[in-house]
Amino acid sequence: MKFTIATIPGDGIGPEVIQETIKVLETMAAIGGHTFSYPLLLAGGAALDATGHPLPEETLQTAQEADAVLLGAVGGPKWDHLEGEYRPERALLGLRKSLGLFANLRPAVLFQPLKDACPLHPATAAKGIDIMVVRELTGGLYFGKQERLQDETGGWYAYDTMQYHESEIRRIARVALELAKGRSGKVTSVDKANILESSRLWRKTVMEEAAAYPTISLDHMYVDNASMQLVKSPGQFDVILTENMFGDILSDEAGMITGSIGMLPSASLREDQGGMYEPVHGSAPDIAGQNKANPLATILSAAMMLRISFGLEAEAMLMESAVEHVLNQGLRTGDIYSDGCQLTGTREMGAAVVAAVKQLE
């Protein structure tokens, strides 16, 4: 099969981790008889330097036409003085908006060789963590009406509104329910239905959608309890489905209980299975250009791309197994290093994953 991957290396460690990921993808293409093409596009600081704008029209257009977008990271101190539409991060917002990305997927997986990096109780870590947070990305508190006003005494007040349309809830619920089919089959919908009207509509609508998925077990949890349960017994969760702000907070919490930021992938999806895949981390200017960055978050993001946007489940699993394999071999970049392991660089880690893919195939 043929796929076009709009590839945006970006700034800082972005180009380094993307380079290793392409090597792994090329190995997968050779094994599966697929053809991947990687039109290289500018965004963020790199685009500002070259064109004066963080999101050139050509990048937008190629990203829209591609089967998926693979992004490193954007931003860095060189562009910190810029404001408004010239900030490098505006490229991310522009891409999300114009691609219509409404579902943000953040897996939190504790690889057993890294269980010492888990900040939770060792007995909890030993049980394993494998959670998929599905966050609604275009509605809720972050996009509702907001205003700052003065009351009759002259004092300021402000408000934000949390608003959801049934149709928005249905489409994100379907993403979570579909994902659960390929996992252990459990969805926990997180809301605050004891207080918020939008959460009561959320809960009712999610239940209606779930009726079409008799093999999936659905339960509901209030967001405050969910944040406690994530650190108390994360093993109870499979897919967490939640609205924008709750998901922002819970996905960061879920990510951190697995250890390093250098291990966390993400996907943002639109309705037609297309999407944008990127590591959770930023451009890490402190280690850029030093062959120190962990490429595994980006490699795992590319595995999600194969699974979700390209339907290549076997290939995705092979990539993920290869990552686990190199960790089992004791290879570690600095961010995940612990005593007794072998400290390695970005390129060496990429090469080790390529070798593991070939070995495990």
Under rule CB under 6 A, residue 294 binds ligand NAI: yes
What is the Cβ-side half-sphere exposure of residue 338, based on CA atoms within 13 angstroms?
Answer: 12
Per partner kind, with CB cut-offs from 5 to 8 A, the member of ligand NAI, Mg ion, none near residue 75 is: ligand NAI
* CA atoms of 306 and 267, how far apart (whole Å): 11
Within 8 A by CB and 6+ apart from 62, the residues are 6, 39, 41
Is 145 annotated as ligand-binding? no
66-105 residues near ligand NAI, rule: CB under 6 A: 73-76, 89, 92
Smallest CA-to-CA distance from 278 within 1, 4, 21, 3 is with: 21
**Nearest-5° Cα angle at 301, 83 to 278:** 5
- 103-109 and 130-136 beta bridge pairing: antiparallel
Which residue's CB is nearer to ligand NAI, number 244 or number 333? 333
282 contributes a contact to ligand NAI by CB under 6 A: yes
Is residue 339 part of the annotated active site? The answer reads: no
Least Å distance, CB 361 to ligand NAI, is: 26
Q: Is 290 a known ligand-binding residue?
A: yes
How many residues are there in the chain?
361
The partner in contact with residue 248, picked from ligand NAI, Mg ion, none with C-beta cut-offs of 5 to 8 angstroms by kind, is Mg ion
Check the annotation: does 54 bind a ligand.
no
CB of residue 80 to ligand NAI, shortest distance in Å: 7
What residues contact residue 284 under an 8 Å CB cut-off, 6+ apart?
12, 13, 73, 293
Q: Is 297 in the site for ligand NAI (CB under 6 A)?
A: yes
Within the chain, strands assigned E span 2-10, 35-37, 68-73, 103-109, 130-136, 146-150, 156-160, 186-191, 217-222, 239-242, 265-269, 275-279, 331-332, 342-343
Which residue in 176, 287, 300, 349 binds ligand NAI (CB under 6 A)? 287
Considering beta carbons, is residue 229 or 291 the nearer one to ligand NAI? Answer: 291
Quote the tokens at residue 107: 């897996």
Residue 297, binding choice from Mg ion, ligand NAI, none, Cβ under 5 to 8 Å by partner class: ligand NAI
Binding partner of residue 281 among ligand NAI, Mg ion, none, CB cut-off 5 to 8 Å per kind: ligand NAI
- In the annotation, is 248 catalytic? yes
- 151 belongs to the catalytic site: no
Between CA 26 and CA 30 the distance in angstroms is 6
CB of 195 to ligand NAI, least distance (A): 31
Annotated binding residue at 232? no
Determine whether the annotation assigns residue 67 to a binding site: no
Q: Which of 201, 200, 141, 144 is nearest to 167 (CA)?
A: 201
Which span sits near ligand NAI by CB under 6 A: 107-115, 137-145, 274-282, 307-315? 274-282
Shortest Å, Cβ 252 to Mg ion: 5
Task: Count the Cβ atoms, other than its own, within 10 Å of residue 201.
Answer: 17
- Between CA 349 and CA 23 the distance in angstroms is 11
Closest separation between CB of residue 341 and ligand NAI, Å?
15
Instruction: Write down the catalytic residue from 23, 127, 142, 222.
Output: 142
Shortest Å distance, C-beta 228 to ligand NAI? 26
Active site residue 252: yes
Show the tokens assigned to 115: 């269980």
300 binds ligand NAI (CB under 6 A): no
Longest dimension (CA), the chain: 73
Is residue 289 a known part of a binding site?
yes
Q: Say whether residue 335 binds ligand NAI (CB under 6 A).
A: yes
Q: Which residue is nearest to Mg ion (CB)?
A: 248
Enzyme catalytic residues: 142, 192, 224, 248, 252
Binding site residues, ligand NAI, CB under 6 A: 13, 73-76, 89, 92, 261-262, 278, 281-287, 293-294, 297, 333, 335
Which residues does the annotation place in the binding site for Mg(2+)?
A: 224, 248, 252
